[in-house]
């Protein structure tokens, strides 16, 4: 099971508001460390093997600590954006362990393949995906066969 936390949606003033759709109340905000502990409890008690975007995209420290200690695949979509340059930065900073490869996000098959090869050479997982709502495009299935990443993320967007 993969969990897509999309934490940037509920990140407020350096903390996390897990009830972000309710009226704002800073008293209920939790720290990124508390969120990491909560996530690790889910990992321990449920068959979670991958988590996507568990922290705000700018909270590099939380990403680094969690990736080092979670024991599962950590996917960071917003940072890498299928860019070889940004993927190299993420590899060097150890802020995640899987590339979400969206070919149409970078606009070049060549750059997508470079990012994929860099991630694979770094021991990362690679998850091929379409952009939200593009469930009719079958090319990504062919790409998965060609790249052998072992992971395909697809599904309708809410």
Summarize the confidence of residues 2-21 as an average pLDDT.
67
* Average pLDDT value over all residues in the chain: 83
Summarize the confidence of residues 52-72 as an average pLDDT.
91
Q: Give the pLDDT band (50/70/90) at residue 158.
A: very low
Compute the residue count for the chain: 158
For residue 1, CA distances in Å to 25, 26, 36, 112, 131 come to 31, 31, 18, 25, 20
Could you tell me the residue ranges of all domains in the chain?
Answer: 77-157
Summarize the confidence of residues 141-153 as an average pLDDT.
86
pTM of the model: 0.82
pLDDT above 90 as % of the chain: 39
């Amino acid at each position: 099971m993969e969990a897509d936390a999309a934490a940037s949606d509920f990140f407020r003033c350096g903390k996390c508001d897990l009830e972000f759709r309710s009226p704002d109340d800073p008293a209920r905000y939790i720290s990124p460390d508390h969120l990491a502990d909560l996530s690790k409890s889910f990992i321990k008690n449920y068959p979670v093997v991958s988590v996507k975007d568990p922290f705000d995209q700018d909270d590099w420290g939380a990403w680094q600590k969690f990736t080092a200690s979670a024991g599962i695949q950590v996917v960071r979509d917003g940072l890498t954006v299928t860019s070889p340059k940004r993927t190299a930065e993420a590899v060097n900073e150890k802020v995640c362990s899987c590339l979400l490869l969206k070919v149409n996000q970078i606009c070049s098959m060549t750059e997508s393949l470079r990012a994929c090869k860099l991630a694979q050479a770094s021991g990362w997982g690679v998850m091929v995906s379409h952009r939200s709502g593009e469930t009719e495009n079958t090319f990504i299935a062919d790409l998965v066969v060609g790249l052998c990443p072992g992971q395909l993320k697809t599904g309708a967007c809410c």
